Structure 1
Amino acid sequence: MTRVEQCVERVVPVRARLRILATTDLHMHILPYDYLADRPVEGWGLTNTADLIAQARAEEPNTILLDNGDFLHGTAMGDLVVEQYRAASGADAPVVHPMIAAMDHLGYDAATLGNHDFDRGVAVLFDAIEQAGFPIVSANTILRRAATPLQDATLVPPFALLNRRISDADGVMRDIRIGVIGFLPPGSLKLGHNSGTAPQTRDIIQTARCFVPYLKARGADIIVALAHSGLGDDVHRDGMENALRPLSRVAGIDAIVGGHSHQVFPDPDAPDLRPDGLCDRLNHVPTIVPGFWGSHLGVIDLDLTRDVRGWTVAAGHAALRKVAGAEGADTVSGTVRPFPNWVQHLHESTLNHMRTPIARCTTDLDNYFALVGGDCATRLVQEAMLACARQVQADRLGSDLPVLASSAPFKSGGLAGPQYYSRVRAGQMTLRSLSDLYVFPNELMLVRATGAYLRHWLERSASLFNQVLPGERAVWLKDDGTPGYLLESVLGLTYRIDLRQPARFTPEGAPLGLSGGRIVDLRHQGRRVRDNDEFLLATSDFRACGGGGFPEAPEDRRVAMPPLPIRDVLKAHVQRVGLVRTAQDPIWRFSEVAGASIRFKTSPDARHVTGRFPWLPIRNVQTHDERGFAHYEMEL
Structure 2
Amino acid sequence: MLKNRPFAPEFERGQTSLRILATTDLHMWMLGYDYYRDQPDTGHSLAQLAPLIDERRNEVPNACLFDNGDLLQGTPMADILVEDWRMDETRANPVMQTLTQMGYDAATLGNHDFNFGLPYLDAAVQTAGFPYVCANALRHRAEHPDADQPYLPPYTLLTRSLRMADGSDQDIRIGVIGFVPPQITAWDRQHLSGRIQTRSIIDSARFHVPRLKNAGADIIVALCHSGLGRSLDDRGQENAGLALATVPNIDAFVLGHVHRTFPDSSYDGYPGVDPSKGTICGKPAVMPGFWGSHLGIIDLTLEHAGDRWSITQNQSRVEPVTAAGQTTPTTAQPLAARVQKSMQAAHDRTLDLIRSPVGRLSGRLHSYFGEIGPTLVECLISAAKQAKCRELITQRSIPDLPILCMTSPFKSGGLSGPTFYTDIPAGPLALHHVAEMYIYPNTLMVIRQTGAQVLDLLERSAALFTQIKAGDQDVPLVSSLRPHYEIDWMHGLSYTLNLEAQAGANRVKDVIHQSEPIDPEADYIVATNNYRVAVAQVPIAPEDILYEAPMMMRDVLCDYLKSHQDYAPIRQTSVRFQPFSEHTTCRLSIGPAARDLIDQDPAMSVIGETPSGFLDVRYNLPAVENAAANRRVGT
Residue 235 of structure 2 corresponds to residue 242 of structure 1:
no
Unpaired stretches in structure 1, ≥5 consecutive residues: 1-11, 505-515
Q: Which of 526, 535, 541 does residue 530 from structure 2 map onto?
A: 541
With over 3 angstroms needed to count, the CA separation of the structure-2 counterparts of 1:177 and 1:495, relative to structure 1, is same
Q: Equivalent residue for 1:201? A: 198
Q: Distance in 1 between matches of 2:250 and 2:38?
A: 43
Q: Distance in 2 between matches of 1:330 and 1:234?
A: 38
After TM superposition, give the deviation of residue 241 of structure 1 in Å.
0.8
Maintained 8 Å contact 1:361/1:581: yes
With over 3 angstroms needed to count, the CA separation of the structure-2 counterparts of 1:485 and 1:561, relative to structure 1, is closer
Q: Equivalent residue for 1:608? A: 596
Q: Equivalent residue for 1:507? A: none
After TM superposition, give the deviation of residue 330 of structure 1 in Å.
7.1
**One-letter amino acid of the counterpart of residue 311, structure 1:** W
Q: Equivalent residue for 1:128? A: 124
Maintained 8 Å contact 1:406/1:489: yes
Taking structure 1 as the reference length, what is the TM-score of the superposition?
0.89
Q: Distance in 1 between matches of 2:328 and 2:270?
A: 26
Maintained 8 Å contact 1:140/1:149: no
Instruction: String of CA shifts for 1:357-389, please: whole Å, max 9, x gaps.
Output: 111121111111111115101110111112112
Q: Equivalent residue for 2:624? A: none
With over 3 angstroms needed to count, the CA separation of the structure-2 counterparts of 1:14 and 1:528, relative to structure 1, is farther
**One-letter amino acid of the counterpart of residue 206, structure 1:** D
Q: Equivalent residue for 1:46? A: 46
With over 3 angstroms needed to count, the CA separation of the structure-2 counterparts of 1:255 and 1:410, relative to structure 1, is same
Q: Which of 512, 517, 524 does residue 523 from structure 1 map onto?
A: 512
Q: Equivalent residue for 1:599? A: 587
After TM superposition, give the deviation of residue 272 of structure 1 in Å.
12
Q: Distance in 1 between matches of 2:496 and 2:269?
A: 41
Residue 618 of structure 2 corresponds to residue 630 of structure 1:
no
Maintained 8 Å contact 1:464/1:484: no
Q: Distance in 1 between matches of 2:534 and 2:613?
A: 36
Maintained 8 Å contact 2:227/2:238: yes
With over 3 angstroms needed to count, the CA separation of the structure-2 counterparts of 1:16 and 1:370, relative to structure 1, is same
**One-letter amino acid of the counterpart of residue 50, structure 2:** A
Residue 560 of structure 2 corresponds to residue 581 of structure 1:
no
Determine helix, strand or coil for the equivalent of 1:563. Answer: strand
After TM superposition, give the deviation of residue 579 of structure 1 in Å.
2.0
With over 3 angstroms needed to count, the CA separation of the structure-2 counterparts of 1:167 and 1:501, relative to structure 1, is farther
Q: Distance in 1 between matches of 2:55 and 2:265?
A: 20
Instruction: String of CA shifts for 1:258-292, please: whole Å, max 9, x gaps.
Output: 11110111116888999965521111111111000
Determine helix, strand or coil for the equivalent of 1:439. Answer: coil
Maintained 8 Å contact 2:85/2:120: no
Trace 1:362-381 onto structure 2 (pairs within 5 A). Answer: 362-381=362-381
Q: Which of 103, 109, 116 does residue 112 from structure 2 map onto?
A: 116
With over 3 angstroms needed to count, the CA separation of the structure-2 counterparts of 1:379 and 1:278, relative to structure 1, is closer
Q: Distance in 2 between matches of 1:16 and 1:125?
A: 38
Q: Which of 282, 306, 309 does residue 308 from structure 1 map onto?
A: 306
Trace 1:313-324 onto structure 2 (pairs within 5 A). Answer: 313-324=311-322
Q: Distance in 1 between matches of 2:269 and 2:235?
A: 32
With over 3 angstroms needed to count, the CA separation of the structure-2 counterparts of 1:216 and 1:404, relative to structure 1, is same
Q: Equivalent residue for 2:7? A: none
Q: Equivalent residue for 2:209? A: 212
With over 3 angstroms needed to count, the CA separation of the structure-2 counterparts of 1:574 and 1:277, relative to structure 1, is closer
% same residue: 37
With over 3 angstroms needed to count, the CA separation of the structure-2 counterparts of 1:277 and 1:620, relative to structure 1, is closer
Determine helix, strand or coil for the equivalent of 1:129. Answer: helix
Instruction: String of CA shifts for 1:310-331, please: whole Å, max 9, x gaps.
Output: 21222221100110289x9877
**One-letter amino acid of the counterpart of residue 21, structure 2:** L
Q: Equivalent residue for 1:356? A: 356
Q: Equivalent residue for 1:295? A: 293
Q: Distance in 1 between matches of 2:507 and 2:59?
A: 53
Q: Distance in 2 between matches of 1:331 and 1:628?
A: 28
Residue 152 of structure 2 corresponds to residue 187 of structure 1:
no
After TM superposition, give the deviation of residue 309 of structure 1 in Å.
5.3
After TM superposition, give the deviation of residue 99 of structure 1 in Å.
1.3
Maintained 8 Å contact 1:460/1:550: no
Determine helix, strand or coil for the equivalent of 1:47. Answer: helix
Maintained 8 Å contact 1:522/1:528: yes
Maintained 8 Å contact 1:305/1:313: yes
Determine helix, strand or coil for the equivalent of 2:177. Answer: strand
Residue range with higher mean Cα deviation, 413-422 or 563-572? 413-422
Residue 229 of structure 2 corresponds to residue 232 of structure 1:
yes
Maintained 8 Å contact 2:446/2:525: yes
**One-letter amino acid of the counterpart of residue 523, structure 2:** E
**One-letter amino acid of the counterpart of residue 417, structure 1:** G
Q: Equivalent residue for 1:7? A: none
**One-letter amino acid of the counterpart of residue 290, structure 1:** P
Taking structure 2 as the reference length, what is the TM-score of the superposition?
0.89
The CA RMSD over aligned residues, in Å, is 2.7
Q: Which of 154, 159, 162 does residue 163 from structure 1 map onto?
A: 159
Instruction: String of CA shifts for 1:162-182, please: whole Å, max 9, x gaps.
Output: 111112222221111111111
Q: Equivalent residue for 2:628? A: none
After TM superposition, give the deviation of residue 452 of structure 1 in Å.
3.1
Q: Distance in 2 between matches of 1:227 and 1:77?
A: 25
Q: Distance in 1 between matches of 2:316 and 2:182?
A: 26
Q: Equivalent residue for 2:453? A: 453
After TM superposition, give the deviation of residue 159 of structure 1 in Å.
0.9
Maintained 8 Å contact 2:496/2:578: yes
After TM superposition, give the deviation of residue 526 of structure 1 in Å.
2.9
Residue 266 of structure 2 corresponds to residue 281 of structure 1:
no
Instruction: String of CA shifts for 1:482-501, please: whole Å, max 9, x gaps.
Output: 21121221111222222223
Q: Equivalent residue for 2:3? A: none
**One-letter amino acid of the counterpart of residue 577, structure 1:** H
Size of the aligned set, in residue pairs, is 604
Residue 445 of structure 2 corresponds to residue 439 of structure 1:
no
With over 3 angstroms needed to count, the CA separation of the structure-2 counterparts of 1:380 and 1:257, relative to structure 1, is same
Determine helix, strand or coil for the equivalent of 2:49. Answer: helix
After TM superposition, give the deviation of residue 69 of structure 1 in Å.
0.4
Maintained 8 Å contact 1:120/1:195: no
With over 3 angstroms needed to count, the CA separation of the structure-2 counterparts of 1:325 and 1:61, relative to structure 1, is closer
Q: Distance in 2 between matches of 1:70 and 1:169?
A: 37
Maintained 8 Å contact 1:123/1:195: no
Q: Distance in 2 between matches of 1:179 and 1:253?
A: 9
Residue range with higher mean Cα deviation, 54-63 or 555-564? 555-564
Q: Distance in 2 between matches of 1:357 and 1:380?
A: 18
Residue range with higher mean Cα deviation, 129-138 or 80-89? 80-89
Determine helix, strand or coil for the equivalent of 1:181. Answer: strand
After TM superposition, give the deviation of residue 566 of structure 1 in Å.
0.6
Q: Distance in 2 between matches of 1:528 and 1:268?
A: 46
